[in-house]
Chains A and B, each alone.
Chain A
Amino acid sequence: MDRKSIEKRLNDQKDLLSNLVKKAKTNGIDQVEIYSSYGYSEDVSLEKNDLNNCTATEENMFGIRVLHEGNQGFIISNHIPSLYQSIEEAYSLAKSQSTPDLDLVLPEPESIQNHFNQYDDSLDSMGIEDLVASAKEALGWRNDLYSKVNIDSGDFSLSKGYKLIVSSKGVMAHELGAELSASVMGMGVDGDLVGSFDYDSASGFDKTQFQTLWKKAFMNFGDKCMGALYAKPISGFQGKVLLPPDAVYSFFLGLFIGSLNGTSLRKGKSKMAGKLGEKVASPLLSIWDDPTNDRFMGSTGFDREGLPTSKKSVLTEGVLETYFYNTYEAKKAGFTKSNGCATGGAQSLPGCGPKQLQIAPGTSAKDEFFKLPGKTLFVNRISGTKDGASGDFSGVIKGGYLLENGEKIPVREVQIVGNAFEALGQIEAISKEGELLGESSFVPYMLLDGFTITGVTEE
């Protein structure tokens, strides 16, 4: 599958979907939206320090949304010959409902300013043989440098495809994409001693970018697994935690960002309701959403409803500046149109959220965080639970360290309990350095104070 054949498929499908929408309108179905997601991928998987499987998959999923007098029906299908029947089924689902809301409408089309070309033609000369070669190289790194690290699973993927949205209101947008990606998961094993799982991943637009990032990610994975191998229990304490970029993004900030979702706000489930313009976090923290930067993986010119995306400030020095809306939630909040923050794909109804969060770097050198006096818990990863409404989170620290008097002691059986909204005010310092997570979101290290850390040993 190469660019030419994907483009041909896309062009044929634009015609097909436009005709289906026209046919639906002729038959009295006025508001139809079809979101198409086509993907072709070749994959090589690893298991137990060995190659496991080679696969080739191709699929086109369609998300069909029909609105009828304020009611909505949604069908997801991968069967092209019966797409018109699916439109009728979605219409029937919408008609079967008795709780209309006239704010539920498809958006009017808007001009899209940013057109992305994230399909590097050089990937067309690659195939499963290159993925096998990458897998062989990674197994070599494991054998030569990390013989005590067991690769439980891994995956190398070359994927290509497009997304396309067509609606009866005149929305028509598409983007092609292609990427190389890899991930690895495993743990350190030394005799009877087994360390915590860890993982890492990388992706790139082309072979050179991918190879550089993947090697770095694999070495990072190996170091983390080895670091967790000789972990020991510690006693509990009250104090500081140091979060690397992954932990900042996946656990602590995720709850806060979720509370800015238009749906949570409307339903009274968000503690950030009514706080626009207010200081809700440490003045050290500034965040923006930028899906328009073509250097980032996943940047896009349009959202799940086919409306243009834009760069927007979320938090400036701790002051809340925006919420995230799709068309429906924007109308419920009193706006005439959305702010281009509809999320999701063919297999989901439009949600609300950011696309590519960026966190402003701070002024501290991250290495200084590792030399602090007293005890600091370095939280590599939290295996735990979080509650969106209350902001409470708790979990077991995985691959973490106790930093004490310049020592770095790997720990196990340690739990942390906190609240994400309170934690926004507990930020003591943010590092200058950070990482581009998923090659799309810049996230620095953060030092926070005032946490309860539970251990199993006595002081």
Chain B
Amino acid sequence: MRNLLKECLAEESGFVELRYHHKESRSFFAERGRVESTALRKRTGVGVRVLESGTWGFASTSEISKSSIQNAIQVAKKAARLSSALRKDKIPNLPKANFAIGDFIGKGIEDFRNRTVEEKLKLVLDIQNAAAKQSAKLQSVGCGYSEIYEEKAIVTTDGADSFFSMVRPEFRVSAVAKEDGKMESGSHSIGVTGGWDCLFRSLSPTEISDEACKTAVDLLSSSLPDGGLSTVILSPSIVGLLVHEAIGHTVEADFVLSGSVAQGKIGHRVGSDLVTLCDSGYSEYYEGAGGSIPVDDEGVIPTNTVIIKNGILSSYLHNRETAERFGVAPTGSARAWEYGDVPLIRMRNTFLMPGDSSLEEMIANTKDGYYLDGAKNGQADATGEFMFAVQKAYRIKNGKITDLLKGVTVSGLAFDVLQNVDMVSKEFKWDLGSGHCGKGQPAKVDAGGPYVRTKVLLGGK
């Protein structure tokens, strides 16, 4: 594929980027004793981006042939020329980048290819059947397995020349429990970059299912917490949501240029000394983080980018265009979801570095607060105000975990919450590898870190 793309570029003189992308998504879902759906989605095409007259032009084609790709190049060039007159702030030349050259084959691909459809169907059906028998209060248990296999080739007129492939499996269980007209739901999911063994390395399918069912049943007897500003200990999945939503989005350089709260704050204190925050294309601490990429969608080798070092904001996340504008090197953060999408600046694996405390010490040192566990969803604002939703909130009184309460929405101002971090655990976990981050288009990301104690606004009664 790299050769075909290079052939298409042979006579081009300006900047042209060709991105071949083939993606196969398989999903299997069982509920109420039967397989409810099996689906396979295949999408292939080439995205063409040109920089001409100081403006981007983009076109795409699903036909993988020299003539079709070359036609798309001409369409993209025409689009760029048409818009050039309007664009005020012309795009300067793109900076040199640490391009990936060669083939990069991901781990786990053979593993997923060698497992049959029947094996995957049996997994979801068996787990679902066993889970549904756990409690008479369970109305419904759904179990899903999915995997995205993708391969990309990226070739540019200024030197990028790579092919890479990867597979990202996910497993999820959701349960609904009912008692006296009250209904509650619980879910647990995992996702990695790698094979089946990597997926179930920390938790078995049964343990994942038990966790989801137990949450749904336990929440039947829970009530809302008291609303207000509270001391909280966040589990790694919640820390992942916090750093992704509250900080990660505000330091994406396109948001920074639009006026996000992180604008002009490089070198400023934005968190306590205990806070060191990174976003990486790799999988630090243990393999399989769900947002790992060997090459970004501009053909650049991703870095481990230290965003905050001991509380001081030290870097934004960049593509080639913003790197040029800020006079820094690209961080390898340009990502596109489909061949027909233009690459955007996106996070990869976002994490807080571990500290010195243990979770046990952190709970024992908390007189009055909450332990929050089970990430649901979250969103961030340009103001730095964020929200994320949790499944479960446990009351902490006098250093001990007591009642289970309904998890609700938690919010705060990003940098205030980081400034209030006063304890960080030794334990570390990636815990946000399932699902997607949305920003105009989806992206597979992961996030996590240690247990963290801080203050947030808790919605409640």
Q: Which parts of B35-54 form the interface with A (CB within 8 Å)?
A: 35, 37-45
**Contact string, A417-459, partner B, CB cutoff 8 A, digits 1/0?**
1000000000000000000000000000000000010101000
Q: Which residues of B contact A326 (CB under 8 A)?
A: none
Q: Which parts of B64-95 form the interface with A (CB within 8 Å)?
A: 75-76, 79-80, 82-83, 85-89
Q: Determine whether the beta carbon of B62 is less than 8 Å from that of A99.
A: no
Identify the stretch in B255-263, B348-356, B364-372, B395-403 within 8 Å (CB) of chain A at 4 or more residues: B255-263
Residue of B nearest to A139 (CB): B86
Q: Which parts of A68-88 form the interface with B (CB within 8 Å)?
A: 71-79, 86
Q: Determine whether the beta carbon of A417 is less than 8 Å from that of B184.
A: no
Q: Determine whether the beta carbon of B227 is less than 8 Å from that of A452.
A: yes
Q: Determine whether the beta carbon of A187 is less than 8 Å from that of B139.
A: no
The CA-CA distance from A61 to B25 in the complex, in Å, is 14
**CB of A267 within 8 Å of the partner chain:** yes
Residue of B nearest to A189 (CB): B259
Instruction: Given contacts A128-B82, A132-B85, list 11 more A-B pairs with CB under 8 A.
Output: A47-B254, A48-B89, A51-B87, A54-B80, A56-B59, A72-B37, A78-B44, A132-B82, A390-B184, A395-B459, A413-B411
Q: Determine whether the beta carbon of B382 is less than 8 Å from that of A75.
A: no
Q: Which residues of A contact B59 (CB under 8 A)?
A: 55-57
Q: Determine whether the beta carbon of A269 is less than 8 Å from that of B383.
A: no
Knowing A48-B258, A128-B79, A186-B258, say if A383 contacts B44 (CB, 8 Å).
Answer: no
Q: Determine whether the beta carbon of B258 is less than 8 Å from that of A415.
A: no
Q: Determine whether the beta carbon of A395 is less than 8 Å from that of B387.
A: yes
Q: Determine whether the beta carbon of A197 is less than 8 Å from that of B62.
A: no
The CA-CA distance from A391 to B178 in the complex, in Å, is 13
**Contact string, A330-350, partner B, CB cutoff 8 A, digits 1/0?**
000000000000000001010
Knowing A99-B33, A396-B385, say if A54 contacts B460 (CB, 8 Å).
Answer: no
**CB of B31 within 8 Å of the partner chain:** yes
Can you list 21 contacts pairing A with B, beta carbon distance less than 8 Å?
A: A50-B89, A53-B83, A56-B59, A58-B60, A58-B61, A72-B38, A74-B38, A74-B39, A76-B43, A77-B41, A97-B38, A129-B82, A194-B382, A197-B381, A268-B178, A269-B183, A349-B37, A385-B376, A412-B383, A415-B459, A417-B459
Specify which of A56, A413, A417 is in contact with B385 (CB 8 Å cutoff).
Answer: A413
Specify which of B43, B118, B377, B385 is in contact with A412 (CB 8 Å cutoff).
Answer: B385
The CA-CA distance from A89 to B60 in the complex, in Å, is 27
Among A89, A150, A413, chain B packs the most CB atoms within 10 A around the CB of A413
Q: Range of interface residues on chain B?
A: 35 or more
- Minimum CB–CB distance from B121 to chain A (whole Å) comes to 6
Among B33, B59, B80, chain A packs the most CB atoms within 10 A around the CB of B59
Q: Determine whether the beta carbon of B82 is less than 8 Å from that of A54.
A: yes
- Minimum CB–CB distance from B127 to chain A (whole Å) comes to 14
Leading 5 A-B pairs by shortest Cβ distance? A385-B389, A99-B34, A54-B79, A454-B227, A415-B459
Knowing A59-B62, A153-B440, A396-B385, say if A415 contacts B185 (CB, 8 Å).
Answer: no
Q: Which residues of A contact B389 (CB under 8 A)?
A: 384-385, 394
The CA-CA distance from A75 to B408 in the complex, in Å, is 37
**CB of A298 within 8 Å of the partner chain:** no
Q: Determine whether the beta carbon of B37 is less than 8 Å from that of A74.
A: yes
Q: Determine whether the beta carbon of A76 is less than 8 Å from that of B459.
A: no
**Contact string, B377-396, partner A, CB cutoff 8 A, digits 1/0?**
10101111101010000000
Q: Range of interface residues on chain A?
A: 35 or more
Q: Which residues of A contact B156 (CB under 8 A)?
A: none
**CB of A271 within 8 Å of the partner chain:** yes
Q: Determine whether the beta carbon of B79 is less than 8 Å from that of A56.
A: yes
Residue of B nearest to A100 (CB): B34
Q: Which parts of A58-116 form the interface with B (CB within 8 Å)?
A: 58-61, 71-79, 86, 89-90, 92-94, 96-99, 101
Q: Determine whether the beta carbon of A196 is less than 8 Å from that of B383.
A: yes
**CB of B309 within 8 Å of the partner chain:** no
Q: Which residues of A contact B58 (CB under 8 A)?
A: 53-57
Q: Determine whether the beta carbon of B31 is less than 8 Å from that of A267.
A: yes
The CA-CA distance from A195 to B255 in the complex, in Å, is 13
The CA-CA distance from A187 to B255 in the complex, in Å, is 11
The CA-CA distance from A89 to B117 in the complex, in Å, is 11
**CB of B32 within 8 Å of the partner chain:** yes
The CA-CA distance from A189 to B38 in the complex, in Å, is 48
Q: Determine whether the beta carbon of B340 is less than 8 Å from that of A75.
A: no
Specify which of B37, B56, B79, B460 is in contact with A452 (CB 8 Å cutoff).
Answer: B460
Q: Determine whether the beta carbon of B42 is less than 8 Å from that of A456.
A: no
Q: Which residues of B contact A395 (CB under 8 A)?
A: 387, 409, 459
Q: Which residues of B contact A269 (CB under 8 A)?
A: 139-140, 176, 183, 185
Q: Determine whether the beta carbon of A152 is less than 8 Å from that of B176.
A: no
Specify which of A57, A76, A194, A416 is in contact with B40 (CB 8 Å cutoff).
Answer: A76
Q: Determine whether the beta carbon of B40 is less than 8 Å from that of A150.
A: no
